[in-house]
Amino acid sequence: MPARQQCGAMLAVLALAAAVAGCAQTPTGPASSLPDKVIRNVPGSGKAAREPDPLPLPAIEAPLHDDLPPTPVQYADVLDRIRVGSQLPDVDHPWVRAELDWYVRNGEYMGRVFARAQRYLHYIADEVESRGLPMELALLPVVESAFNPFAYSRSHASGLWQFIPGTGKRFDLKQDWWQDQRRDVLDSTRAALDYLTYLHQMFNGDWMLAVAAYNYGSGNVTRAIRRNESLGRDTDFFSLSLPGETRAYVPKLLALGQLVRHPEAYGIALPPIPDAPYFEVVETGGPVDLRLAAELAGVDVEELHALNAGWNQWVTGPDGPHRLLVPAVVAPAFNERFAALGPAERAGLEPHTVEAGETLNALASRHRVPVAFLQSMNGTDGSALSVGDAVYVPGRDVSPLRSGLVRAATSVHVVRPGESLWSISRRYNMSVAELARVNSISTKATLRPGQRLSVRPPASAGAGTQVAGSGATRQIAYKVRRGDTLSGIARRFEVTVRQLMAWNGMQDTSIRAGQRLTVHVDGSRDYGG
């Protein structure tokens, strides 16, 4: 080919390449092709936040050959992986700076939170990464619950991701006598990331608005956007009129991202979290006694329940999910010991010989389990029994585990004629709400004589500063918020109204916004939400 023709051909190729590149930067379809529920808000259309030059990230070497799959990068610390996978910007805004200052001033608290996160963060980071989402979202449980799976808020939100009951049901999180999957690390993480992905699509790819909606509700954020649109104002997150909690919520996550990306810039050292699985998922094939499982694994029951926080009772439910999370380091030994047991032994059941007059209903009531559970474990649909029949029943105390709601040992109170939840709660220095939660009943439940209730041990009933069965307490100063009531604050911290009044020298239950109350709380817990 002549040189002039060769040159012409090369120019044509270059022109074609430029045209293709230009097309790649152009939207592929009209706006009407977007989902109907997308809010037409263009990220960055509002007042631009100044973004300082980020500190350099760890270098990642590219593969030598394009035809070979890239070798996964191995990190010693899961926080390094979050750093590299960050997608949210460094934002220089007063709200973000305020949260950064708080985190830096409270380094000891942050150390405790990240130490607790060690159980869950690797798994959550894996799930976030597998979906291609900003890795900073793995830090959202710091904001929501301080990585306490038993965190319970005044709005009845529960778990690492703080789902309220309605939203939990919307995302298929079971909430019944057996379990509350809002506290289950696997199920709640799936639901949270599904929800965040939905919100991200709804708000046209704006992660700040998506995170705000996770806290405040998509409808509320949508109305705030429309209100600004009607007034001709910007519609970015920082321009919206939102409640104080939400105005702080998004900056908290942004601040955490910046803190993890640049810890040296803020003079804070976060505890290392190995980038390796903390737990292993064991398929159990049926119900498992959690206390027995802890013994088989060689760990404290509190440790095992922290990994399996979704279960309310001493045993996993007959309808599943039939799985158990056990620390990875003890999983081989656990699997070997577990395999040697039969289904009844695994569920903590022992054979019982039926005596005259006994029915399955009566046995279920005596052992405080649903009839359906005994039916399932004994392979029967009925309740009638014959004298001499052998049936499996719980072989130990079956008081609910409920770490964080009831700890260590509980006593049993047998209901007497005329007693109510209120009178029993006063006797054992509990709130009505706490007593109801511990026994998985409504606060309006009618009690029957002879009914057995789990209560605090009598030894702690008269101790004015003892909380929820824990021996160690700490004193905090709680700032009353608008809409707070003394009974609501008591429920939040699992104390009684009478205790709050005594600690604060109060003559009545009147409180005002901004007032500071002294509260003695369980020293082993962080109260998220």
Last residue of a domain, one of 237, 266, 295: 266
Residues 6+ apart with CB under 8 A from 425: 431, 432, 434, 435, 496
Same domain, 309 and 331: yes
At 137-149, the pLDDT tens digits run: 999 999 999 999 9
313 in the same domain as 218: no
Judge whether 501 lies within some domain: yes
- Farthest CA pair distance, the chain: 109
The string of pLDDT tens digits covering residues 268-315 is 888 899 999 999 999 999 999 998 999 999 998 889 999 999 998 888
In angstroms, rounded to a whole number, what is the distance separating the alpha carbons of residues 121 and 276?
10
* Bigger pLDDT: 104 vs 28: 104
Instruction: State the total domains in the chain.
Output: 5
In a domain, 44, yes or no: no
Within 256-322, strands assigned E span 279-283
Single-letter code of the amino acid located at 478:
Y
Whether 161 is covered by a domain: the verdict is yes
Listed residue (139, 137, 141) closest to 263, CA to CA? 139
Rounded average pLDDT over 176-199: 96
Residue 408's pLDDT band (boundaries 50, 70, 90)?
very low
490 domain-assigned: yes
Q: Hey, which of 6-10, 317-321, 322-326, 477-481 has the most confident mean pLDDT?
A: 322-326
Which residues form the domain of 84?
A: 72-266
Q: Domain check: are 196 and 317 in the same one?
A: no
In the residue annotation, 264 being an active-site residue is answered as: no
The answer on 335 and 424 residing in a single domain is no
| Distance in angstroms (rounded) separating the CA atoms of residues 271 and 269 | 6
Residue 419 lies in a domain: yes
Residues 343 and 353 in one domain: no
- Statement: residue 333 has pLDDT above 80: yes
In a domain, 191, yes or no: yes
Catalytic residue among 99, 127, 144, 434: 144
Tokens 């995170």 correspond to 211
Instruction: Give the pLDDT band (50/70/90) at residue 514.
Output: confident
Q: Of the segments 63-67, 108-112, 201-205, 470-474, which one has the largest average pLDDT value?
A: 201-205
From CA 432, how far away is CA 420, in angstroms rounded?
Answer: 10
Same domain, 139 and 235: yes
**Cα–Cα distances in angstroms (integers) from residue 450 to residues 105, 417, 418, in the given order:** 53, 8, 11
- pLDDT tens readout for residues 53-92: 333 333 333 344 455 555 556 788 999 999 999 999 999 9
283/134 same-domain check: no
353 and 341 in one domain?
Answer: no
* Cβ pair 121, 135 in contact under 8 A: no
Which region among 172-181, 262-271, 385-394 has the lowest average model confidence (pLDDT)? 385-394
More reliable by pLDDT, 360 or 402: 360
CATH number, domain with residue 478: 3.10.350.10
Could you read off the pLDDT of 253-266 as tens digits, one per residue? 999 999 999 999 99
141 and 218 inside one domain: yes
Select the more confidently predicted residue: 16 or 289: 289
- List the structure tokens of 137: 């979202």
Q: Render pLDDT for 21-45 as a digit per residue (tens, 0 to 9).
A: 343 333 333 332 223 333 323 223 3
pLDDT above 60: residue 527: no
426: left (phi over 0), alpha (psi -120 to 50) or beta: alpha
Cα 129 to Cα 57, 167, 262, distances in angstroms? 17, 24, 20
Task: Mark whether 311 and 457 lie in a shared domain.
Answer: no
**Can you give the pLDDT at residue 145?**
93
Q: Is 18 inside any structural domain?
A: no
Q: Where are the alpha helices (DSSP H) in 38-93?
A: 78-84
Domain identity same for 215 and 128: yes
Distance CA 8, CA 468 (A): 83
Of 211, 239, 266, which residue constitutes the final position of a domain?
A: 266
Q: Does the residue 35 lie in any domain? A: no
**What's the pLDDT at 49?**
32
Q: Are residues 172 and 250 in the same domain?
A: yes
